[in-house]
Structure formats: structure tokens, C-alpha cells
A and B are shown apart, each in its own frame.
Chain A
Amino acid sequence: MIGPRFVLRMAWRESRSGRRRLWLLTGAITAGVAALVAINSFTQNLRTSVAEQAKALLGADLSITSRQKFSPRIDALIDSLIAPDPATQRPAGRRALEVTFPAMAYVPRTSGVRLVQVRAVEGGYPFYGAITTLPAGQWQSLTTTDGALVDPALLSALGAQVGDTLALGDARFPILGTVLNVPGDVGVATAFGPRVYVPARTLPATGLLRFGSRAGYAAYVRLAPGVPAQPIREKYRQALRQERAGIRTVEDDREDLTDALTRLGNYLGLVALIALLLGGLGVASAVHVFIKRKLDTIAVLRCLGATSREVFAVYLLQALVMGGIGSGIGAIVGVGLQQMLPVLFQGFLPVDVHVVPSPRAILLGMGLGLWVAGMFAALPLLAVRRISPLMTLRRDVEPSRGRRDAVDWISLLLLAGSVVALSVIQVGALVDGAVFSTGIGFALLFLWLAARGLISGLRRWFPHRLPYLWRQGLANLYRPANQTVTVVLALGFGAFLLATLFLVQHNLLRQFRPGGNGTRPNLMFFDIQPDQRAGVGEVLASSALSGTPLVPIVTMRITSIRGVPVPLAPPPDTTAADSGARGGRRARSAGPAGWALRREYRSTYRDTLTATEKLVQGAWWGPGVARPAPGQPALVSLDSDIASELAVKLGDEIVWNVGGAEVRSRVANLREIDWSRFDTNFFAVFQTGVLESAPQMFVTLVRADSATVRGKVQRSMAERYPNVTAIDLSQVQEAIEGILNRGALIVRFLALFSLVTGAIVLVGAVSASRLSRIREGVLLKTLGATRAQVLRILIAEYTALGVLAALASVFLASAAGWALAKWLFKQPFSLPALQLGGLTLLLLALTLSVGLWNSAEILKRAPLAVLREE
């Protein structure tokens, strides 16, 4: 058997001349590996940081949370948890309470007002970790001073500074400083409501915690040293649920956060993986061209007695080595990029990330790079089997184009399988990986069809009437060894990613923009108490505004459905996910029915349908049905989704607990609600004449075009009725835009690597035909063409290529964006033509500049010099 030494030696020698071309193969792999290593290594850092800082995330050993004031039983439980045990000489633990609620805050000295998230704290929270403030050390002074610590964002929103007085309800607080870092908090969340920390003892003075206030209560418990938290959680979870409270431990937080961050990292890694796969396409096309160039050499080797397997091995080895170098460089670049990621992720992470290169991520990235290089190189390399030694005698013997044989098909299958496997490995989930790779497959198929279509379309309907220079340029697109398909695939896919991302972002944001007719409300006041109704109207009128009729809100819970009482706690086997102050979403995932059964409903009563809802089942009660007949249940209308979660149908009886009193109701009809509109929408709407005397609050909506007017009316409302909170749609919109833009930035950053890979593939494609292009260019010059004419031919070619790649990718992105809007986000879709046009131009500019830059030599060469080289 011929030793591998021959293969090694030939691979080395053979690479000497082709290295320039082989470097492109290296470059194609580099960008993808760099992106993968950066994101995966960073994800690893996140996990490590969460594990290290787990205790600080919660700030305590365990927390007990509720949406209502703790019952005496809960208070007693907490007392027992921290009580010292003389028998075992266990010392006392500690407890800190926190009440959280939204409120309006303003600084009397300045003009603004802002909806804030008040956090009233006590008793030395946090027990673990530290809240950093500016000036430093102000956190501790909260225990002695009745002041406030606020988010820096609030100061800039109110035009205030440290030392100013902050008005919160009826109380006034000196602003002691700003909070810079709170362990476990995600920075961007403050965009919806900056945090204001005040001592819990000042709460009564604010007068804000009234009936109906949406407050969250939490007790943070530090157990005595050596007392494990987990058994306590297991022991009391059921009991606490009876009291509508949840319990969490450090371990819960750590697990949830690790899961969430790992998932985030894995999915972002998929975007990076795309860059690597596009690099694979670049490798395949580079190898394809390379082999065509090496036909003579391969024929000679075959003639001299090398087997096809040996020849295959020689070139595969070259590809692997170059791919390996590319992976190595990519890993180094990736480690560099990793240092930048914390900046991109700023505000999204609840932990301080300590950035260190992760050996596992580096090895994985390099391994994937090598795998992709090998698999994508192997496919075109199989063609060496068909190169006949006869070519040494006859130049006209073409490598038989013969039908693909079993080996080809198996390799193709292996390649497809590899893509699926890579995706599955990256995302860590079988189905998601498979779906993702199928999606990639479809997108590539479409781009491939577009490129093939262009080539055969040009061939069939060649625009013979065009001036010669354009014809020559277009003809270049289907010249022998053209790379049209590869370039369209690689550039087009990068652009497709960016365009899809942009479309999704655009359409998500669009729904928060005020309607075009300018009459829809953009300001909402709620928590209006019955005795404030007239006053609120006066405040609005003083700003020449008028609100919609006041909408009453009555809070209630379900007691029984069809006579079956609703259990306070779910059956033990479905308690995997606990609910709590931040547990609404968690509980939903545990069991929708349970979530719908136990939640607090904020319902209203009226006799008309609103513009944002549509009757889908049953009949609406007309204005005539003022009140239920004596002894009959009240008519109630449910949101159709919640009805199916509750598993109720028309005619079913639901008994509600409204402020301690039982209200019987019968489901009269179902509505479909457009929740995306800025409006008051309710799961349950009662007929009039039932809830009028129940404890209730009111909401009103206002339209105010001028931001100044909106600011002023909110301020006067806050001064007169501090308990009335306002939501300014434009602020919500700003917050959402800010968060979406920041999130999109991260994805866009990673998607950029696909475009970089596309550009590298383009460079490869241009240099693949470099020699024949130079010869042609020089020949044209010899025949009398000016440099400008040669340049115009090149421009024609790259313009056509760029336009095709851009149009194909924009079209594909529009289809993908539309599908996502329709099925995932369930929203109407709009196409931002202007911006997509901009993207098209951008891609065109990229293609032209890369193409022309690589063709500079053609323009520079003097005719004679090249002819001599022949």
C-alpha cells in the first residue's frame, strides 16, 4: 500500500503554488468560526457568572412573594423560619420585606413627570451581593435616612439631579443618589419604569397603597448558617400556594437563568452557524475551481499510477489543513470579538459577566470549522475520480460529466446530515435544529434557483440589443468556471438574514406607532378612585383635553365553574412550576388552565362592544337588557381564548368572588380581542346592573398630540391625584423601540458575519477567473479598448450580480417576514420599500466595490506584459 507519506508530501508540494487561492478557503471559514467561538464562549461565561453570582441574584437564601399583602399565616411562617432554635443552638436568621408598585414621580423644581417602579425596602436587603450607588455607599443610608435612590434614567427624564426633592404620592424624598447596579435586575427593563428605592417605613406617608393598587409583596429571608433552603421550599410550597404566595430559592433562580441564557446563547449561535455554513459553500466553490485548474496535474498523477483515492486524499488534506488554519484564526478573532459582546449585551444581563475565553467553545468552534471545511470540500473533490489519465494524451478529453453515482449521493446525504447535525449540536434541541436547517435549505434552494434562472434566462433571451460593453459584462455571468451561483448564494443569504431581521423589527415596532388618523388615544390614566372621577375630568379639561367615558374596573377571582370549586393550589403532580410575583409567565407554561383559573381578573361592565373586539359566538346583550332578572345569574362575555383555557362554553355558570361577595354569572357570548391596540380590553365583561356597587376604579383614555401637553396634564394629574397613574403610549413605544433595537443590534452583529463571509466568497469567485479575465482585458486593450471600456464591462457584470443577489434576498426576506408576521406574531405585514431599497443599494455597492477592487489588476496590466507571459 502506498504510504500516507506520499499523500502528505504531495499535499504540501501541491499547495505551494495554489496557496493564494487556498487562503480564500481559509478566509471563508474564518468569519463563521470567529462568530461561533465568540458567542459560544460568551454564553459559557454567562453560565459561569450566573453560577458564581447566584446568591446575589436573589440577594437572600429564599424569597416569598405574593400579589397581595401577606396573610398572618405567611407572616407566622416567615417568623418561624428565622427564629433561633435554642435546642440546636441555631442562631436567628434575618428577613427583609419589599413592596413594589407603579406610581407617578416628579420633581417639584422641574416640569416632568414619569411613571416609576417604586421599591419600598427594609431590613438590610440584600443579604448577599451589593447594590452599588453613586455617590458610593448610599444604599446603607436608606436604613437611617428617609430618602430615595433612583435609576439614572429617571434623573435625565425629569431633568433632576442628586439632592433634588422627589414627589411620590403625598410624600417628598430627597434624592440621595442613583443606583448603578442591582444584582439580578435586567437593565433594559427600567425603560418601562425607572426604579425608585425608598425605605419601607415611608410607605404610609405616600398614601399610594390604596384599594386596587397593583402592588407586589416580597419577603427575603436569610436562613441561619447551615440551614438548607431547598427542603424548606419543598415543605411549604403547597401551603403557600393556598395563601396565593410563591416561594423561590437561589437554586430556582440559578436554574431558570442558566436555562434562559443558555437558550439565548444557543439561538444566537445559530446565526453565527449560518456564517460558517456559507463559508462551507465558499470552500466547495473554491475547491471546485481549484480542481478544474489541477486537471492536468491530476491526470499526470493518475497516469503515473496514483489511485483516485490517493489523489482525493492529497487534495482533501490540503482543504483540511487550510480549513484548520481558518478555524484557528477564527478562534483567535472570536476570542477578540468576545471582549466586545458585553458592550452589545449591556442592560440585558442580570449578572456581571467576567469575560474569559472558554476552551470548550474554542474547541467546538474549531471542530465545527474543520468539519464544515472537510465536508464541503469533499463533495467537489469526488470529481477527481472521474479525471481520466487519458487527458495526458488528449487535451480534448473532458472529465466525464457522467451521472452522479452512489458515492456522490451518499456524500450529498452526509453533507445534508452534517448541516442538520451541526444545527442540532449548536441549538441543543433536535426539533429546533432540524427546523432551522430545513429553513436554511429552503432559503438556499430559492437563491440557487434564482441564480440558475438568471444564467439560463440570460442564455436564452440574451439582450442582443444592449451596447457591446453591457453584453460582454452580462455574458461573463455564464462564462466557463463562472461563480454566479456561489456568489448569489453567499451574498444573498447574508443580505436575506439582515433584511428579514429588519422586516421583523419594523413590523413589531409598527404596531406601537400611533395610528395614522391621529384620533386614537395615546395616553391612559388608571387607578382613578370613584371620588376622583369629576376631578380627573377637570384636570383634563384644564389642558383642553377630554377623555373617553370612564371605564370601571372591578377585580375578582373565579370561585367555581359549573358548580365545581376552583382549587387554590393545583394538584400536586402539576406543581412543577411555582407561581409568584414574577411567576405569571412560569405558571402559564406549567398549565394554562391552572393559570387561567387562579389569576385575578380585572373586569368591567358595559352594554356595548368596543372597536377592538369582535363577537364570535353567542349574542351580545343589547342596551335594553339593563340588569339580570331577579334570581338569574348575570350575563358575562368572555375572551374566546380565555374561555378555551377555562374550558367553558356558552351557557356555563361561573361564580366570581368580587371583594368577598359571590357573583353568579352565565357565559352569554365570546369575543375575539385585538390586544395589540392601545385600549382598555377585558377578559370578562359583565352586563350592566350587577357590579355597579362593587369596589372599583376607573380608567380613561386621552388623545393629546403635543408631547408638552401630554407632559403637563400628567404632571397636574400627579400633583392633584398622586394615586392615579398614567401610561404615555409614546414612552412605551420608545421603551419598546429601545429594547428591540438593542436586541436587534446583537443579532445584526452576528448576521454581519454572514455578509463578511459572502464578501470573502465573492473575492474568491473573482480571483477564480482572474487569469482568463486578465487575458481578456488585455486582449480587449490590445484591440483598442480603453480602460474605461474595460471598467464598464466589469461594472456591468458586478451590477447584474449585485442586483440579482439583492433582489433575490429581499424577495426571500419579504416572504419570510410575511410568514413570521402572519403565523408567529399574528400581525398585519407591511413592506418598508424605502429601507429595503436602501439595503439593495448597499449590497450592490458591496458587490461592486469588492468586485472592482479585486479586478484592479486587469485595468493596470499593460497589454504586452501579459502576452509575453503566455
Chain B
Amino acid sequence: MLRCQSLTQTYVSGGRPLTVLNDITFALERGGFLAIVGPSGSGKTTLLGLLAGLDRPASGTIELDGNDLGSLTEDQRARLRSEKVGFVFQSFQLIPTLTARENVQVPLELRGEPAHDRAQQLLDRVGLGDRADHYPAQLSGGEQQRVALARAFSIKPQILFADEPTGNLDAATGATIITLMEELNRELGTTLVLVTHDHDLAARARRTIRLSDGRIVEDSAA
């Protein structure tokens, strides 16, 4: 499903090149559940961004469901995301000017698919069916993340990337989010990749990759 080879990423910081990721190589099977862990600044989020095609690596290759991301243009990668990739963010990233249902509809509409009923079903599924017409500002953090989850699963993604999905939530709310993700993973066979600080959360993943200073220092599958 996901394969990366000798992935390196450097940023220029304060005039000097800074290596954020160094020679990352791993592969993840379809339907897998991977947690990427590590201390702050270890390169977790950078890796996630590269895997999802939000950015280009300095060197190395990434293959997402058979597509070499390096050979795709920005817009082709966008198209790929709209077809196969779901996202959940630490700060939810709902569009503040759209209602909950409309937020869920966006990815479907980007694909030109009927969206209204499916969005409602998904909101029902995450327990927010009666809040569909509320705006993000009218929802609590946990509710917003559930909407984000519904949005992520609306297109039945092949793979879901989650960046600290529980980072802004209290423990109990975070747990329900993870449970929801696991259920959806089982129901739809979606591959899960999540970045987290949370040891409890990481422990629920079937595979863990630990990063330190931009290198893989531990891979539970190895």
C-alpha cells in the first residue's frame, strides 16, 4: 500500500541546511495500522506530510498504492488524494465557514459524487447526525474531530493519515476517536497511518515506527 525508499528531507533554517529526515525506508501492507512515534522535532509530521504527498522529499521515493509520488505534479497528487487519501489533523482543520455536513461533503463533491446522504450517514455513524447543520465553532473539540473523521472516511479512502488526532482532546474523548478509527479501519479495510505522542494510542497500533533525529530507531515489524 505504502512504500518509501531512502527518504531524506532537508530544510534551510537560519541559512543552513537542516536534515529533518534521513534515509527512511519502510513498507506498509494494505489494511495495516501504523503508528509513528518519537519526541518533538524527530521528523514525525514531516514524514507524514511526505507520505501523503503534501510535500516533495529532497531525495528518495514514495509509492502510494502503486503511484510514484515523485513523478506526479502537484495537481496530480491532489487528484490522487481526492481519490484515495483521508486526513485527520491535530487541529481538526474543518473549514470554519461550512457546516458540519458541508465539511463532510467537500471530498465527495471534489470527486463529483452525490454527497448529501452519504455525509449524513457518516455523521450518524460518528454520533453527530443531529448536529449536521452546526458550524465548527458551535461544536466542541471532540465533536469537531468526529466531523473531521467523518470527512476523512467519506470517500472510503484506501489510506488515512492522522496527525496527532487526539493531541487537542482530553483522554476520554481521544479514546472514542481512536475507537472510531479502528472500527472504520476494520469495516472499510482502510490503511491507517498515525503520528502520535500518546503511548496508549501507539500501543493500539499493529505496528510502531519510532523516529529520533530524523532516523528510524525502532520498527516493531522489523
- Residues of A that sit less than 8 Å from B by CB: 1-3, 5-6, 9-10, 13-14, 16-18, 296-297, 299-310, 388-390, 392-394
Binds A, one of B61-69, B91-99, B124-132, B205-213: B91-99
A299, A302, A393 — most chain B CB neighbours (10 Å): A393
The residues of B that contact A296 with a CB separation of less than 8 Å are: 93, 95-96
Q: How far is the CB of A311 from chain B (nearest CB, A)?
A: 9
Residue pair A388, B55 in contact (C-beta under 8 Å): yes
Residue pair A392, B89 in contact (C-beta under 8 Å): yes
Residue pair B96, A17 in contact (C-beta under 8 Å): yes
Residue pair A304, B54 in contact (C-beta under 8 Å): no
Residue pair B75, A304 in contact (C-beta under 8 Å): no
B80, B89, B110, B111 — most chain A CB neighbours (10 Å): B110
**How far is it, in angstroms, between the C-alpha of A559 and the C-alpha of B92 when the chains are bound?**
97
> B81 an interface residue at 8 Å Cβ cutoff?
yes
Closest Cβ neighbor of B97 among chain A residues: A17
**How far is it, in angstroms, between the C-alpha of A303 and the C-alpha of B49 when the chains are bound?**
10
The residues of A that contact B25 with a CB separation of less than 8 Å are: none
The 12 sampled A-B contact pairs (Cβ below 8 Å) are A13-B98, A300-B94, A300-B95, A303-B87, A304-B151, A305-B80, A305-B110, A305-B111, A309-B75, A388-B54, A393-B163, A394-B49
The residues of B that contact A394 with a CB separation of less than 8 Å are: 45, 49
Q: How far is the CB of A87 from chain B (nearest CB, A)?
A: 84
A14, A304, A308 — most chain B CB neighbours (10 Å): A304
> B109 an interface residue at 8 Å Cβ cutoff?
yes
Residue pair A10, B111 in contact (C-beta under 8 Å): no
Q: Given A3-B112, A14-B97, A305 and B102 touching (CB < 8 A)?
A: no
> B21 an interface residue at 8 Å Cβ cutoff?
no
Residue pair A18, B97 in contact (C-beta under 8 Å): yes
Q: How far is the CB of A799 from chain B (nearest CB, A)?
A: 36
The residues of A that contact B81 with a CB separation of less than 8 Å are: 303-305, 389
Q: How far is the CB of B217 from chain A (nearest CB, A)?
A: 22
Among candidates A300, A303, A308, residue contacting B74 with C-beta atoms closer than 8 Å: A308
Q: Given A309-B75, A390-B49, A393-B45, A304 and B110 touching (CB < 8 A)?
A: yes
Residue pair A308, B107 in contact (C-beta under 8 Å): no
- Main SS at interface, chain A: helix
Residue pair A6, B109 in contact (C-beta under 8 Å): yes
The residues of A that contact B1 with a CB separation of less than 8 Å are: none
Q: Given A307-B75, A309-B75, A394-B45, A16 and B97 touching (CB < 8 A)?
A: yes
The residues of B that contact A301 with a CB separation of less than 8 Å are: 95, 106, 110
Q: How far is the CB of B21 from chain A (nearest CB, A)?
A: 14
Residue pair A297, B87 in contact (C-beta under 8 Å): no
Closest Cβ neighbor of B105 among chain A residues: A9
**How far is it, in angstroms, between the C-alpha of A392 and the C-alpha of B165 when the chains are bound?**
13
Among candidates A2, A13, A308, A309, residue contacting B110 with C-beta atoms closer than 8 Å: A2
Closest Cβ neighbor of B108 among chain A residues: A6
> B178 an interface residue at 8 Å Cβ cutoff?
no
Residue pair B87, A392 in contact (C-beta under 8 Å): yes
Residue pair A13, B75 in contact (C-beta under 8 Å): no
**How far is it, in angstroms, between the C-alpha of A2 and the C-alpha of B49 when the chains are bound?**
24
Q: How far is the CB of B153 from chain A (nearest CB, A)?
A: 12
Residue pair A393, B97 in contact (C-beta under 8 Å): no
Residue pair B45, A306 in contact (C-beta under 8 Å): no
Residue pair B97, A310 in contact (C-beta under 8 Å): no
Chain A proximity mask over B69-90: 1 for CB below 8 Å, otherwise 0: 0000011001111110101010
Residue pair B55, A390 in contact (C-beta under 8 Å): yes
Residue pair A305, B78 in contact (C-beta under 8 Å): yes
Among candidates A13, A18, A304, residue contacting B102 with C-beta atoms closer than 8 Å: A13
Among candidates B78, B83, B97, B111, residue contacting A297 with C-beta atoms closer than 8 Å: B97
**How far is it, in angstroms, between the C-alpha of A701 and the C-alpha of B98 when the chains are bound?**
83
Among candidates B79, B94, B96, B97, residue contacting A305 with C-beta atoms closer than 8 Å: B79
**How far is it, in angstroms, between the C-alpha of A299 and the C-alpha of B151 when the chains are bound?**
15
Closest Cβ neighbor of A307 among chain B residues: B75
Q: In the complex, which residues 4-48 of chain B have their Cβ closer than 8 Å to any Cβ of chain A?
A: 45, 48
Residue pair A392, B54 in contact (C-beta under 8 Å): yes
Residue pair A305, B93 in contact (C-beta under 8 Å): no
Among candidates A308, A310, A393, residue contacting B49 with C-beta atoms closer than 8 Å: A393
The residues of A that contact B111 with a CB separation of less than 8 Å are: 2, 305
**How far is it, in angstroms, between the C-alpha of A310 and the C-alpha of B81 when the chains are bound?**
14
**How far is it, in angstroms, between the C-alpha of A17 and the C-alpha of B83 when the chains are bound?**
29
Q: How far is the CB of B96 from chain A (nearest CB, A)?
A: 7
The residues of A that contact B97 with a CB separation of less than 8 Å are: 13-14, 16-18, 297
Closest Cβ neighbor of B75 among chain A residues: A307
Among candidates A2, A297, A309, residue contacting B112 with C-beta atoms closer than 8 Å: A2
**How far is it, in angstroms, between the C-alpha of A390 and the C-alpha of B83 when the chains are bound?**
18
The residues of A that contact B102 with a CB separation of less than 8 Å are: 13
**How far is it, in angstroms, between the C-alpha of A305 and the C-alpha of B83 when the chains are bound?**
8
The residues of A that contact B89 with a CB separation of less than 8 Å are: 392-393
Q: How far is the CB of B150 from chain A (nearest CB, A)?
A: 13
Closest Cβ neighbor of B154 among chain A residues: A304
User: What 6 new A-B contacts, CB under 8 Å, besides A304-B87, A305-B80?
Assistant: A300-B93, A301-B110, A302-B78, A304-B81, A308-B74, A308-B78
**How far is it, in angstroms, between the C-alpha of A309 and the C-alpha of B163 when the chains are bound?**
27
The residues of B that contact A14 with a CB separation of less than 8 Å are: 95, 97-98
Q: Given A306-B82, A392-B89, A394-B45, A5 and B55 touching (CB < 8 A)?
A: no
Residue pair B54, A393 in contact (C-beta under 8 Å): yes
Closest Cβ neighbor of B163 among chain A residues: A393
Closest Cβ neighbor of B80 among chain A residues: A305
Q: How far is the CB of A807 from chain B (nearest CB, A)?
A: 40
**How far is it, in angstroms, between the C-alpha of A308 and the C-alpha of B83 when the chains are bound?**
16
**How far is it, in angstroms, between the C-alpha of A310 and the C-alpha of B112 when the chains are bound?**
13
The residues of B that contact A10 with a CB separation of less than 8 Å are: 106, 109
The residues of B that contact A16 with a CB separation of less than 8 Å are: 97
Q: How far is the CB of A847 from chain B (nearest CB, A)?
A: 32
A3, A16, A392 — most chain B CB neighbours (10 Å): A392
A3, A13, A303 — most chain B CB neighbours (10 Å): A303
Q: How far is the CB of B139 from chain A (nearest CB, A)?
A: 16
Q: In the complex, which residues 106-138 of chain B have their Cβ closer than 8 Å to any Cβ of chain A?
A: 106-107, 109-112
The residues of A that contact B107 with a CB separation of less than 8 Å are: 304-305
Residue pair A303, B54 in contact (C-beta under 8 Å): yes
**How far is it, in angstroms, between the C-alpha of A306 and the C-alpha of B45 when the chains are bound?**
22
Q: Given A305-B82, A306-B82, A388-B55, A5 and B96 touching (CB < 8 A)?
A: no
Residue pair B75, A6 in contact (C-beta under 8 Å): no
**How far is it, in angstroms, between the C-alpha of A394 and the C-alpha of B195 when the chains are bound?**
13
The residues of B that contact A306 with a CB separation of less than 8 Å are: 78, 82, 110
Closest Cβ neighbor of B85 among chain A residues: A305
The residues of B that contact A388 with a CB separation of less than 8 Å are: 54-55
- The 5 A-B residue pairs with the shortest CB-CB distance, nearest first, are A305-B82, A17-B97, A305-B81, A307-B75, A389-B54
Closest Cβ neighbor of B44 among chain A residues: A393
Q: Given A13-B102, A388-B55, A6 and B110 touching (CB < 8 A)?
A: yes
Closest Cβ neighbor of A18 among chain B residues: B97
**How far is it, in angstroms, between the C-alpha of A13 and the C-alpha of B114 when the chains are bound?**
17
Q: How far is the CB of B80 from chain A (nearest CB, A)?
A: 7
Residue pair B75, A308 in contact (C-beta under 8 Å): yes
Closest Cβ neighbor of A385 among chain B residues: B74
